[in-house]
């Protein structure tokens, strides 16, 4: 298959041509060199290669640099409140189960202010994809420590270095009930695209946490920092159905003092989704219910 090289990275020519249909006219506002660019390329490549239709795809975001993503992909989109992409995404899915719903957020958005949604939505196993632009800092607000900032990292809010233990989203997701748990690196868009494709194709709640270098405010976790540390789980014979092995890999990053940082698919299981078990909608999506047949007068009478 033909490839072209842009900014030192090889891209599949077929993917570029198909993904162009997802481009928008607006100028992208991210800083030059931001990891969000290759994440966006991977996302558009995944959507086009899976053959998803624009009118049946919804991208939902919270607040932060990641929050701009729905504006930059030519599908349906919704930019919501800080930390709230998952409640909005799950409501859209419940209303119309035939849609492909992708939630986008940042580490501050999803693992800080929105962490309660993350924890409980995983238990329910909605058929959603959640992509977290994990740059280990609050980028949009110009560089404060986030839940995933590493120990010792100096930021505007931690001038003597972070002293809180970093949040481990992969471990939480494996224990919390997510049925597809992966981590990608924005410095490897082709690999990331495959993880996103797997997440969207998976029926159930899928987390793709993405190391997404913030070149402007995170001077610690740079592209070079990750390139020296990341390795792919699929190169090691890792068994993705083995929960204990997945947890061991989820903890390797911190246990090795960030010398060995696995990326790839950690864990995958099949479990019924929330919407497929909900009697009211399991056979007929909410948007297809005939409202004319619904009589609420009995409910009103009961209130009298």
Question: Interface residues with Mg ion (CB under 5 A)?
Answer: 106-108, 135
Would you give the binding string for ligand SF4 spanning residues 32-61, x where CB under 6 A is met? --x-x-------------------------
Q: Is 9 helix (H, G, I), strand (E, B) or coil?
A: strand
The DSSP result for 229-290, as a single string, is TEEEGGGTT--TT-HHHHHHHHHHHHHTTTSSEEEEEEEE-----HHHH-TTTSSS-GGGS-
Dihedral, CA of residue 74, residue 111, residue 143 and residue 152, to nearest 10 = -140
Residue 107 interacts with which of Mg ion, ligand SF4, none, CB < 5 to 8 Å by class: Mg ion
Give the nearest distance from C-beta 184 to ligand SF4 in angstroms.
Answer: 16
Residue 240 interacts with which of Mg ion, ligand SF4, none, CB < 5 to 8 Å by class: none
Give the nearest distance from C-beta 82 to Mg ion in angstroms.
Answer: 12
Q: 76 phi and psi, to 5 degrees?
A: -70, 150
Hey, CA dihedral for 146, 148, 154, 159, is it positive or negative? Answer: positive
Binding-site size for ligand SF4 (CB under 6 A) equals 12
Give the nearest distance from C-beta 155 to ligand SF4 in angstroms.
Answer: 12
Is there binding between residue 131 and ligand SF4 (CB under 6 A)?
A: no
Subset of residues 201 to 220 that bind ligand SF4, contact rule: CB under 6 A: 214-217
Q: Which is nearer to Mg ion, 22 or 42 (CB)?
A: 42
Dihedral, CA of residue 41, residue 46, residue 47 and residue 48, to nearest 10 = 90
Q: Which is nearer to ligand SF4, 59 or 246 (CB)?
A: 59
Q: Which is nearer to Mg ion, 135 or 179 (CB)?
A: 135
Q: 57: which strand partners?
A: 100
d(CA 189, CA 11): 9
Residue 217 interacts with which of Mg ion, ligand SF4, none, CB < 5 to 8 Å by class: ligand SF4
Q: Which two tokens stand for residue 152?
A: 């010792």
Q: Which of 47, 65, 150, 173 binds ligand SF4 (CB under 6 A)?
A: 65
d(CA 266, CA 176): 14
d(CA 186, CA 239): 24
Residue 9 interacts with which of ligand SF4, Mg ion, none, CB < 5 to 8 Å by class: none
The residues binding ligand SF4 (CB under 6 A) are: 30-31, 34, 36, 65, 135, 139-140, 214-217
């Amino acid at each position: 298959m033909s490839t072209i090289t842009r900014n030192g990275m090889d891209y599949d020519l077929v993917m570029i041509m198909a993904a162009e249909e997802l481009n928008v006219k607006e100028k992208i506002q991210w800083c030059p060199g931001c990891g969000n660019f290759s994440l966006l390329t991977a996302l558009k490549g995944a959507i086009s290669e899976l053959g998803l239709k624009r009118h049946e795809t919804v991208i939902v975001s919270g607040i932060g640099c990641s929050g701009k993503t729905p504006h930059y992909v030519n599908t349906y989109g919704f930019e919501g409140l800080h930390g709230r992409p998952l409640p909005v995404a799950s409501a859209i899915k419940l209303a119309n189960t035939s849609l492909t719903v992708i939630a986008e957020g940042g580490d501050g958005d999803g693992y800080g202010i929105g962490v309660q949604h993350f924890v409980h939505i995983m238990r329910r196993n909605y058929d959603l994809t959640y992509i977290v632009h994990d740059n280990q800092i609050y980028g949009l607000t110009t560089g404060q420590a986030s839940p995933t900032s590493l120990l010792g990292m100096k930021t505007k809010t931690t001038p003597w270095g972070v002293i809180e233990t970093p949040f481990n989203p992969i471990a939480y997701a494996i224990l919390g009930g997510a049925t597809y748990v992966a981590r990608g690196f924005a410095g490897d868009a082709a690999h990331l695209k495959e993880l996103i494709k797997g997440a969207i194709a998976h029926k159930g709640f899928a987390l793709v946490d993405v190391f997404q270098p913030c070149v402007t405010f995170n001077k610690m976790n740079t592209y070079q920092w990750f390139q020296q540390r990341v390795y792919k789980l699929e190169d090691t014979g890792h068994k993705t159905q083995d929960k204990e092995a997945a947890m061991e890999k989820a903890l390797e990053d911190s246990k090795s003092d960030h010398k060995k940082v696995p990326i790839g698919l950690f864990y995958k299981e099949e479990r019924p989704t929330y919407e497929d078990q909900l009697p009211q909608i399991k056979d007929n999506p909410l948007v297809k219910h005939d409202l004319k047949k619904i009589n609420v007068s009995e409910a009103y009478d009961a209130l009298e």
